[in-house]
């Protein structure tokens, strides 16, 4: 069966004159019967726009020439149960996948099956969330310091003094834990900063809004909010409680939040902050690295060095710039109201790494007309630092784990 598949693929490749692919790479060369790479896109579904944008990016890239002729992409949604994703990974291995690009549901529970996939010659690429199994590639912003940088930005905006809320993600989740540890590392240095409420918003706008409203009932005089994804809900809650008062707030990349940061009316009544955090574009970056390795255009990294950092988006209020077209052009980074939902995560584009994408790619998974896959820049891949529990198991974090990269402390502790 497998022999036939391989033989047929090689024959086809030779016929089409694309044998170069097969010859120049030592990686798995098993392809589907029609000579395409069999790639699985394995998703969790927390049900927010982030997930579907990340998936759409991969779908759009896979439909962009020349991938449209060389890649067979199969999307599989595993829900939120790690057991289901384990089962699906197993099925993908059995089907002879060449690569799996995936949002892993758990950082640790999938390790065993991930290892097995690697042993079977399947390229494993995780985006955004990570696994601690070293044979998988983790393409993630998690190590880029979202927590500490946004916390410092908030402290700066508050001049080192004030009552704040922490709007966190999902309890018991490694990403939430990492972000919050980074943030608390900063907040703890400032005795003037008092965390008066801490709640879990499940990275969801609606939940953030309700939880923030509950916290506002006890502390209507809050001075600032440090939020993970769902931040736009926090602004809605503030407005609901008092339309004439906003506070400095840091959060992730929703379009609504960026528009609010840039809104002069809001700035007058107190909004200030920075938009950073998880970019859906990671999925596209992961997919492109994987395809370059499969196609022999890039060498596989040795095990233990497969953690790749995606740069942290960093857009302070003053830097928000509206896009006129359907992509990030001329340094713009947000879309006008009405063009996309407020929960739309803006960081789907990256002019250097993913020039192939447009708004239709992110919203509907369609390729940009006329676009072709461009090779990644030579310096695109940057190693991520080790972080135990995030991207490795038995390892030590660097001593300067929480050093600031995007912002400097403007107030002394």
Q: Which of 222, 330, 233, 337 is nearest to 270 (CA)?
A: 222
Q: What is the largest CA-CA distance in the chain?
A: 72
Give the residue with the Cβ less far from another protein, 314 or 402. Answer: 402
Give the residue with the Cβ less far from another protein, 95 or 159. Answer: 95
Sign of CA dihedral 169, 101, 80, 87: negative
For the CB of residue 372, give the shortest distance to another protein in the complex, in Å.
Answer: 25
What is the distance between the alpha carbons of residues 335 and 362, in angstroms, rounded to a whole number? 13
Give the residue with the Cβ less far from another protein, 226 or 314. Answer: 226
Is the peptide bond prior to 66 cis by the omega test (within 30 degrees of 0)? yes
For the CB of residue 412, give the shortest distance to another protein in the complex, in Å.
Answer: 26
* Residues forming a β-bridge with 350: 354
For the CB of residue 72, give the shortest distance to another protein in the complex, in Å.
Answer: 12
What is the distance between the alpha carbons of residues 117 and 131, in angstroms, rounded to a whole number? 13
Give the residue with the Cβ less far from another protein, 86 or 373. Answer: 86
For the CB of residue 197, give the shortest distance to another protein in the complex, in Å.
Answer: 5
For the CB of residue 314, give the shortest distance to another protein in the complex, in Å.
Answer: 25
Q: Which of 183, 275, 174 is nearest to 232 (CA)?
A: 275
For the CB of residue 293, give the shortest distance to another protein in the complex, in Å.
Answer: 25
Give the residue with the Cβ less far from another protein, 199 or 371. Answer: 199
What is the distance between the alpha carbons of residues 37 and 258, in angstroms, rounded to a whole number? 38
Q: 210: Cβ–Cβ under 8 A, 6 or more apart, which residues?
A: 233, 237
Give the residue with the Cβ less far from another protein, 167 or 295. Answer: 167
Distances (CA, A) of 153 to 238, 347, 378, 406, 408: 20, 19, 32, 9, 8
For the CB of residue 196, give the shortest distance to another protein in the complex, in Å.
Answer: 7
What is the distance between the alpha carbons of residues 106 and 175, in angstroms, rounded to a whole number? 10
Give the residue with the Cβ less far from another protein, 200 or 314. Answer: 200
Structural element, H or E, at residue 382: none
């Amino acid at each position: 069966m497998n022999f036939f598949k391989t033989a047929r693929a090689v024959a086809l490749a030779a016929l089409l004159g694309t044998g170069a692919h097969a010859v120049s790479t030592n990686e798995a060369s098993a392809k589907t019967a029609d000579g395409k790479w069999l790639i699985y896109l394995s998703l969790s579904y927390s049900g927010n726009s982030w997930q579907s944008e990340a998936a759409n990016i991969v779908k759009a890239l896979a439909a962009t020439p020349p991938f449209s002729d060389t890649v067979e992409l199969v999307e599989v949604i595993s829900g939120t149960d790690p057991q289901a994703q384990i089962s699906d990974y197993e099925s993908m291995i059995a089907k002879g996948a060449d690569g799996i690009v995936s949002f892993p549901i758990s950082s640790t529970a999938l390790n065993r099956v991930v290892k097995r996939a690697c042993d079977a010659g399947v390229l494993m690429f995780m985006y955004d969330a990570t696994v601690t199994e070293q044979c998988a590639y983790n393409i993630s912003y998690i190590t880029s310091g979202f927590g500490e940088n946004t916390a410092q930005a908030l402290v700066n905006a508050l001049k080192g003094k004030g009552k704040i809320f922490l709007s966190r993600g999902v309890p018991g989740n490694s990403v939430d834990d990492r972000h919050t540890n980074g943030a608390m590392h900063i907040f703890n240095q400032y005795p003037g900063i008092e965390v008066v409420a801490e709640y879990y918003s499940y990275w969801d706008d609606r939940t953030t809004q309700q939880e923030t409203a509950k916290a506002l009932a006890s502390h209507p005089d809050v001075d600032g909010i440090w939020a993970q994804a769902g931040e736009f809900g926090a602004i809605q809650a503030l407005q609901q409680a008092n339309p004439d008062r906003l506070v400095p707030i840091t959060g992730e990349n929703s379009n609504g939040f960026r528009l609010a940061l840039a809104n002069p009316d809001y700035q007058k009544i107190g909004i200030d902050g920075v938009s950073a955090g998880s970019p859906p574009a990671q999925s596209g970056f992961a997919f492109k690295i994987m395809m370059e390795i499969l196609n022999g255009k890039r060498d596989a990294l040795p095990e233990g060095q497969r953690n790749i950092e995606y740069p942290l988006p960093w857009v302070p209020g003053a830097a928000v710039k509206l896009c006129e077209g359907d992509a990030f052009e001329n340094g713009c980074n947000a879309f006008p109201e009405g063009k996309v939902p407020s929960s739309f995560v803006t960081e789907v584009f990256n002019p250097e790494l993913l020039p192939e994408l447009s708004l239709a790619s992110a919203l509907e998974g369609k390729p940009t007309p006329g676009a072709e896959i461009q090779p990644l820049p030579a310096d695109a891949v940057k190693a991520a630092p080790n972080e135990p529990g995030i991207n490795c198991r038995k390892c030590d974090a660097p001593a300067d784990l929480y050093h600031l990269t995007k912002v400097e402390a403007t107030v002394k502790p």
